[in-house]
Amino acid sequence: MNDQKPERRFRRLRRFARIMLAVLPAVFALGVLLLVIIDAASPFPIERLERAPKSPVVIDRDGRILFACTAADDQWRMPAALDHVAPSAIEATIAAEDSRFYSHPGVDLIAISRAVCQNLRERRIVSGASTITMQVCDMMDKSERSWSAKCIESFRAVQLERIRSKDQILEYYLTEAPYGGNIRGIETAARHYFGRPASLLTLAESALLAGIPQSPERYRPDRYPQIARDRRNVVLQYMFDQGFIDHDAMKAALAEPVRLYDDRSQRRLSHVAMAALARRPGGGTTTIDSALQDAMESIVHRHEKRLPAQAHVAVAVIDVESAGILAWIGSTDFNRARDGQNDGVLAWRSPGSALKPFVYATAFEGKRLAPDSIVPDVSMERAGWSPENFDGTQHEEVTVADALRRSLNVPALLTAERIGIDRCAGVMQSVGVRFKDGAVARARLSLATGGAEVRLLDLTNAYATLARGGERQSPRLFADDSSERVRVLNEATCRALDAILSSHARRPIGFEGATVDQQPWFVWKTGTSSARRDAWAVGHNRKLAIGVWVGRFDGVSDPQFVGRIAAEPILAEIFALPQVRVAAPAQAIRVDWIVDRPLFVPIEPGASGLPVRIARPENGATFVATGNRALVHARVDREIPVSWFLDGEYIDRAAAVRLDVAPGRHILACVPDDGETSRVSFSVNPQ
């Protein structure tokens, strides 16, 4: 009796096989027909996969996250391109989820047969047969688990396989798969759990992550580390059984402990992150060097203690060779409640004397001055404005090099006036400086001493142009930004400014007692705005261009907001950092300067070398007559006799005269013995 049981079982299996052989062609034909119908009536909604919102992520040049936040659907989701995922993670995923992924058409009939047999034998669902492709379709359109939903999912999987490659489907999976909580995708999971990109995952880490999607909440390593480890070991065994790894690799991975990473520090917002997201809302890989950024922040916080209350420091660092922005500090403390989120790198502020090198560069380019040319440093008055040097001194005559090194205001203003303000502004803009609309027109002559607001990033880039020997390049914030070089200055001009402003020609703050070899070599210029509201120090060492701004965002002045006092020590300390410091250039460029048309005539005793100008009355002045006449005092800007003409009639020959003038509009001119005529117009109104 017992011997007949195997025989009856065999006959039943053979009968079942014959039925299946008869039915399968019809099932296959019906499936093909249904697929054609579905294709025509309901094309695969691929846009649901490709338009899934991604988390905005700002990354430094080494792959470290500077800032990240959830996507529009409140999920952490980062794209996972296969060439940016460790091979072990791809192999672990295939071993754990779909060992025949590269051989089936989207539906694995072998896995389905196995699952049906197991589920019938156990009289409950103990095994599934979803392929990676089917899971992608399920992620796209979540629905209740049912036979009808499973059939639709299977058809969708076959559809997807027909329009996308296996690697593309795997990328969809690795981007959308759940890894616990609201963490989507292996790239997000790798950074969340291990603090590194998916491309750097170890074998053990790859296996742990590959095991999570089967039951994301149960296998979360941050909540259930032992269960996650056990699941990892199962995946490692799968990889060994399927030939992905050998015994030694499996043994080493099994012994590796689970070390998780706290990624909360990766999500802090910063000025550079805000700037990056403003340019690209989805984020991207930036040129920021986090190690240098951290060093900058340490220096800034150290100097914060000596600065006035409510003062902020901004720092911008640009790589000279690539034009990449390596560090960006917008304020002393981003989280300061009152004004910490203001960005000093992009704020429009008055740069003081930091623009003076470009005034002299304009004269050098026009062959109107040389570094050793003599420029006047005398009293001047323009339309009621009597500018003086910062220290109140007056030197009568100085060389260009000495005037720039001492940051004398009057020689720079007289140079800008003679060479032309518009020409100076054009050179400044050509090297990378930007001005607010209408700022140059408002500032006019005061442009030479910082009368027009600029941004720290642009001014730093202008000094990077000097570092490149006169080649301008737009600063790059993202690694894939393009930036072409354009020559805007002669190299000789730039190297002349280097020689004048280098640390070999003067000692930076903090290195007063150091030898030439002990101090860092760099070129820099400080600046102090009117009323001491802004302190600047900007320079380069031909490797990096660095700009420092110190001040208050509300514009309140302070006696300490002087470039040399507040900003220069910060700049000097940055240039002294080991990763920033460079050796001094071996030899300066020798230039035989040829000045075609000297900007200033040689100064004779008692003369200024400048055209004689009418100091009083001011051009456009208005007087009120008394008794139908007005007394107008006229004088020139120096004690030399000139010939005076009122409305074309000769009046007198003296340095100053008194004019008895009737109501009306008048033209007053003075003619020196050797020089240009100066004219002003003024009006006299009746009483």
From the candidates 154, 353, 407, 503, which is the catalytic residue? 353
pTM for the structure as a whole: 0.78
List, in sequence order, every residue forming a beta bridge with 315; answer none if it has no partner.
Answer: 329, 548
Over its C-alpha atoms, the chain yields an Rg (Å, rounded) of: 38
CA neighbours within 13 Å on the CB side: how many for 630?
21
- Residue 97 catalytic? yes
The pLDDT of residue 126 is 44
- Residue 353 catalytic? yes
CA angle 462–466–470, rounded 5-degree value: 100
Nearest C-alpha neighbor of 95 from the set 197, 233, 191: 233
**CA–CA separation, 11 and 5 (whole Å):** 10
Give the ranges where 242-289 is alpha helix by DSSP (H): 247-255, 271-279
The strand ranges marked E within 320-404 are 325-329, 348-349, 374-377, 396-399
DSSP notation for 479-522: TT----EEE-S-HHHHHHHHHHHBTTTSPPTT-TT--TTTSPP-
- SS3 (DSSP) at 402: helix
* Average pLDDT of adjacent 10-residue blocks, the chain of 687 residues: 57 60 60 58 71 89 89 90 95 93 83 57 55 87 62 81 91 95 94 91 97 95 95 97 96 94 65 95 94 95 93 97 97 89 96 97 94 90 83 87 95 92 95 93 92 97 98 97 94 95 89 80 96 96 98 95 96 96 76 80 56 84 86 85 85 88 90 79 88
The pLDDT of residue 115 is 53
Give the strand pairing for 57-59 and 283-285. Answer: parallel
**CA–CA separation, 154 and 619 (whole Å):** 88
From the candidates 55, 88, 91, 97, which is the catalytic residue? 97
608-620: b or e for each residue (b if 16 or more CB lie within 10 Å)? Answer: bbbebbbbbbeee
The pLDDT of residue 28 is 55
The pLDDT of residue 513 is 75
